[in-house]
Amino acid sequence: MSKNNPASSLSRFMHGVYFHYFNKGMPTNTAKARMYDETLDACFDFVKNEKDIPDHAVVISAQFMYRVINQRGLALAKELKETKDDEKIMILRKALQQLNQVKTSLDEFISTYEGVLGKNGKGKKQV
């Protein structure tokens, strides 16, 4: 992402949140968790207050979650290929099944959700 892209400021914000907590002595994993939590809370505030495209914002949020789940599934599938431990294989398969269930539901939602305005954005006919 180029530094001239306005969205790169979000990345800088996220790093700033992380370093804020890390520099206060918080362990790395906890500081990262706070970074994600606070950044997603800030994004949620925008979506929550959206008046012009609320349904579109919901679909974009679902697409984001779909990508996160897909990425985690790819990482777990790679780990599954590389492991020989039977117990770990069972744990990884269960996690992959759970991720796949959510991914399938999100895919269905993303492809069919019309919201209040419908797919063309002109509103549904009133009955």
* Number of neighbours of residue 41 by Cβ within 10 angstroms: 9
Contact 99, 69 (CB under 8 A): yes
Q: Can you give the pTM of this predicted structure?
A: 0.81
Amino acid at 29: N
Full pLDDT tens readout for the chain, 127 residues:
556 788 889 889 999 999 999 999 999 999 999 999 999 999 999 999 999 999 999 999 999 999 999 999 999 999 999 999 999 999 999 999 999 999 999 999 999 999 887 655 565 543 3
Contact 64, 47 (CB under 8 A): no
- Residue 92 confidence (pLDDT): 98
Contact 32, 20 (CB under 8 A): no
